[in-house]
Structure 1
Amino acid sequence: MPVAVIDGQPLHYLDQGCGPVVLLGQSYLWDRQMWAPQIEALSQQYRVIVPELWGHGESGPLPQKTASMDDLARQTLALMDHLDIAQINLVGLSVGGMWGARLALQAPERINSLVLMDTYLGAEPEATRQYYFSLFKMIEDVGAIPEPLLDVIAPIFFRPGIDRESALYQDFRNALKAFPKERLLHSIVPLGRLIFSRGDVLEHLPRLDADTTLVMCGDQDKPRPPAESKEMADLIGCALTLIPDAGHISSRENPDFVNEVLLTFLANHA
């Protein structure tokens, strides 16, 4: 994978295909594989860029300067400048949507179209934030994600009825288990705290272009339920698409549906 040095750290990214640029922003605790079906489908007619989050996949540790979602947006703009890309079609899932919308608000001239998937631009509800922070504390104390915690964290990302023996579920669970101590302590946990203590930018969403924005959500997404997506779509004034039989990582749970929606949207907007 190619690499760009941003804020002093190596950011790895996939760059595949030719045509208008589609940048895919990933979820926390996942690498580029969460977009594997979309990379295959979209790269037939688009140039697909997938930067890996700090501390995830092959990317380096979280840069010391990173203190907010706005910093993640700024770092993506730096990657675009590094690649000499003027405009992108941005598809952001979960944290990818959180910084993606901020990027669109900061630099609307750099965004051709925007898809917000399984994400929320409000602040994290206090009870949920405290719960996640308690998990981070456990991980810090142990220096790993302990076995019992794997069976707490992994299900959050999928629809309730997923087969826990499936390759999709087991591969993710094993990836969580494999995070080395240094990555957890210096990148994963600090990034998690940054994500779940983010500010509320809902009041700014009406500034987004309703005609070139789409909100999507798995109909069984637990951490980012469809009601949140409806709230955002109403504020933006854009369309909302619910993804059937999918939880938080809808890109992997119902890839054919997601691919069809993205290809149709991009055909009209890219």
Structure 2
Amino acid sequence: MVNDKQSPMHFEVHGLKGANAPTLVFSSGLGGAAHFWQPQIRDLSDTYRIVVYDQLGTGKSPATLPEDYTITHMAKELRTLLVHLDIKQCHIVGHALGGLVGLALASTHPALVQSLVLINAWSSPNPHTLRCFNIRKAILAAGNKDIYLQMQALLLYPADWIAANAEHLSQEEAHQLRHFPNEHNLLMRIGALSAFNIEAQLADIHTPTLAIANKDDVLVPWQRSKILVSHMPNAELALMEYGGHASTITATSEFNNILRERLSQLA
């Protein structure tokens, strides 16, 4: 099932059908795209109803984002989509920015969120990640979209994975360059994730939570997940040695096994 004209955001529903099917909602990082989760859709759609979506102002969900755009806006947009789909409870799996959206939604609508899986996420700004995003903004300001995409790959993937997938990555970057996101929206989204700070509310989020972090993530230090877990009353940490920031793609089997095991514990 794909989206209808009544929803402002593009969405796709895969896997099991029916209102009682256990539901996973995948929320992407800065890129905001539903297709980021293809490796998980292929592996998990035999067991779950899976919802993926293009976040507002990205991909197939065109919009002009306001200057004061925040993660709270994104959480409200996701809740609106879930109401539209008549989903009353779900597990939210969020990558980086998508994890922040999940945290915000669990804070304001705890009955809606059965569990959280937060992948290389964080609860407050940190100097290292902010430096990375400042560099990306400077590259954008210089008009070097191709260099922005190359920098993006360095932040997402381990060095040996880039070397082994160089041809595929070049083709993907050529496609991304032809469909480069709206720069205003991209800057608003970077601003939103850079300002996000929910640390003072973490102790009040009792949602069962698994934080998955990668020790070789060069964008978000894995210790940010450790901080998340230390402040949340019902959270655990799973550390992956390899995979970089986008281990859902680069270490799919290990990541999916961790996710399946976690979800089976909650069944």
Tell me which interval the TM-score lies in, with the shorter structure as reference length: 0.7 to 0.9
For residue 184 of structure 1, what is the aligned residue in structure 2? 182
1:141 Cα deviation (Å)? 4.9
- Structure 2: runs of 5 or more not aligned: none
Q: TM-score, normalised by structure 1?
A: 0.86
Are residues 1:233 and 2:229 paired?
yes
The answer to whether the Cα contact below 8 Å between 1:13 and 1:52 also exists between their aligned partners in 2 is: yes
Distance 1:87 1:243 in 2: 28
For residue 152 of structure 1, what is the aligned residue in structure 2? 151
**Greater shift in the superposed pair: 36-45 or 162-171:** 162-171
Evaluate the alpha carbon distance shift between residue 128 and residue 246 of structure 1 in structure 2; reply closer, same or farther with a 3 A threshold: closer
- Structure 1: runs of 5 or more not aligned: none
The answer to whether the Cα contact below 8 Å between 2:157 and 2:245 also exists between their aligned partners in 1 is: yes
Distance 1:43 1:107 in 2: 26
Distance 1:168 1:24 in 2: 24
The answer to whether the Cα contact below 8 Å between 2:136 and 2:151 also exists between their aligned partners in 1 is: no
Cα offsets for 1:8-48 (capped at 9, x unmatched):
xx310110112211000111126223211111111111100
Distance 1:168 1:87 in 2: 38
Evaluate the alpha carbon distance shift between residue 99 and residue 191 of structure 1 in structure 2; reply closer, same or farther with a 3 A threshold: same
Distance 2:43 2:190 in 1: 30
- Count of equivalent residues: 260
Distance 1:3 1:130 in 2: 39
For residue 77 of structure 1, what is the aligned residue in structure 2? 79
For residue 252 of structure 1, what is the aligned residue in structure 2? 249
Distance 1:17 1:108 in 2: 25
Evaluate the alpha carbon distance shift between residue 168 and residue 218 of structure 1 in structure 2; reply closer, same or farther with a 3 A threshold: farther
For residue 12 of structure 1, what is the aligned residue in structure 2? 10
1:131 Cα deviation (Å)? 5.2
For residue 89 of structure 2, what is the aligned residue in structure 1? 87
Identity of counterpart residues, as a percentage? 22
**Greater shift in the superposed pair: 251-260 or 153-162:** 153-162
For 1:157, give the aligned amino acid: L
Distance 1:207 1:109 in 2: 13
1:136 Cα deviation (Å)? 2.3
1:124 Cα deviation (Å)? 4.0
For 2:120, give the aligned amino acid: D
Are residues 1:37 and 2:34 paired?
no
Distance 2:133 2:254 in 1: 30
